[in-house]
């Protein structure tokens, strides 16, 4: 770590390390990074040699040695349970219960600040009752809690990606937390991938490539001939909803749509704006503002998944700076 490191942190459910990378870029030193996915752990170990990486559920880790010694405890606690695209089982789902486990971890470690990252769907889950439950439990602790849904595009990320951020500051710190100020410049896809180095990635084949070739820049299935729409959409053609993510070709001069765990899922296509292919792995990483030196372990599909699930690095940097202001 840099000699001018100011604060430390522990991150659980680190994924590929977007959040921790942003904090390290702002002179925070990791005491421990954790994830249950072995490929994510290998990615963390490769990019942060010598860092204490624990692979497995954070529920099984003994954190007693860190009690009272941690500036920031944070985690992108798995959010599939609350996603608007999923079944939204919430706290009845094992992954949702990890959020409850994280609350227990706050009590065990007693950090000065905690940060939770989750999907914006948590705010409206079960008509807001889940969020109300979580905030009630957090506010019972010795922390002043605040939350906000942030769009990464407001913080130097060339992507419309909205995420819920919950921050708690221990009351004895006696400083109020303010979320980072939005930047005036909103980067677009061209800013990220116009000069991207070549890398591995998925490709289209056969009829799908022919169909995607017909889609204009910024367009989607509605821009195809009606007979081709019916051929490609099948039953979805007759269902309701806009479905504008199907057969979607991105636009150079607009922010990228929210990256998912694959660039070529039928409902959430991410076709290159001028080439008929899905975004490459390095393009994915650029859009999530990972540096080109950041390497991902695992298969191509696993690399897409790691990057698609990550917190954008530049968003993490802004959060680190705002939290450092409180810790000072």
Angle formed by the axes of helices 38-47 and 300-309, to 10°?
A: 80
Closest by Cα among 268, 287, 261 to 199: 287
User: Strand pairing of 28-35 and 53-55?
Assistant: parallel
Catalytic residue selected from 13, 79, 220, 271 = 79
Write the DSSP assignment of 159-191 as a string of letters: B--EEEEEEEEEGGG-----PPPPPS----HHH
Higher pLDDT, 263 or 88: 263
**Separation CA 282–CA 294 (nearest Å):** 10
For residue 243, is it left (φ>0), alpha (ψ between -120 and 50) or beta? left
Task: Quick: pLDDT tens for 89-114.
Answer: 555 554 557 888 899 999 999 999 99
Task: Give the count of alpha carbons within 13 A of 88, CB side only.
Answer: 16
Please determine, for residue 81, whether its predicted confidence score (pLDDT) is greater than 90: no
Residue 80 in tokens:
């599939």
User: Strand pairing of 72-75 and 7-12?
Assistant: parallel
Please determine, for residue 87, whether its predicted confidence score (pLDDT) is greater than 90: no
Angle formed by the axes of helices 129-139 and 94-109, to 10°?
A: 10
What band does 266 get if pLDDT is binned at 50, 70 and 90? confident
What band does 140 get if pLDDT is binned at 50, 70 and 90? confident
Residue 263 in tokens:
């660039």
Burial class (CB in 10 A: 0-12, 13-18, 19+), 68: exposed
Domains in the chain and their CATH numbers? 7-181+312-327 (3.40.50.150), 189-307 (3.90.120)
Please determine, for residue 296, whether its predicted confidence score (pLDDT) is greater than 90: yes
Q: What pLDDT, on a 0 to 100 scale, did the predictor assign at position 239?
A: 85
Among 190-194, 218-222, 237-241, 309-313, the minimum mean pLDDT is found in: 237-241
Write the DSSP assignment of 245-263 as a string of letters: TTT-B--TTSPBPPP-S-T
**Separation CA 248–CA 257 (nearest Å):** 10
Quick count: other Cβ atoms within 10 Å of Cβ 131? 21
Active site residue 41: no
Angle formed by the axes of helices 313-327 and 18-25, to 10°?
A: 50
């Amino acid at each position: 770590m840099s000699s001018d490191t100011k604060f430390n942190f522990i991150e659980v459910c680190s994924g590929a390390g977007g959040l921790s990378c942003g904090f390290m870029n702002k002179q925070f030193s990791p005491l421990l990074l954790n994830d249950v996915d072995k490929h994510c752990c290998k990615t963390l170990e490769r990019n942060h040699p010598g860092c204490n990486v624990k692979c497995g559920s954070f529920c099984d880790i003994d954190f007693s040695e860190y009690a009272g010694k941690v500036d920031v405890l944070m985690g992108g606690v798995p959010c599939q349970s609350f996603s608007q695209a999923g079944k939204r089982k919430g706290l009845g789902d094992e992954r949702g219960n990890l959020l409850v486990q994280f609350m227990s971890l706050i009590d065990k470690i007693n950090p000065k600040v905690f940060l939770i990252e989750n999907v914006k769907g948590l705010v409206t889950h079960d008509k807001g009752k889940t969020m109300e439950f979580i905030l009630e439990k957090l506010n019972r602790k010795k922390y002043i809690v605040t939350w906000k849904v942030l769009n990464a595009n407001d913080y130097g990320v060339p992507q419309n990606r909205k995420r819920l951020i919950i921050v708690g500051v221990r009351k004895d710190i006696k400083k109020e937390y303010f979320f980072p100020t939005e930047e005036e410049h909103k980067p677009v896809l061209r800013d990220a991938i116009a000069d991207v180095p070549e890398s591995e990635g998925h490709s289209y084949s056969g009829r799908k490539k022919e169909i995607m070739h017909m889609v204009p820049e910024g367009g989607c299935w509605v821009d195809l001939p009606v007979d081709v729409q019916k051929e490609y959409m099948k039953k979805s053609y007759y269902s309701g909803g806009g479905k504008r993510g199907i057969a979607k070709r991105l636009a150079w001069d607009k922010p990228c749509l929210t990256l998912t765990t694959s660039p070529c899922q039928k409902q959430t296509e991410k076709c290159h704006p001028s080439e008929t292919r899905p975004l490459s792995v390095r393009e994915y990483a650029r859009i999530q503002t990972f540096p080109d030196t950041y390497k991902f372990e695992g298969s191509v599909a696993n690399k897409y998944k790691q990057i698609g699930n990550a917190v954008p690095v530049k968003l993490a940097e802004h959060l680190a700076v705002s939290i450092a202001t409180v810790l000072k």
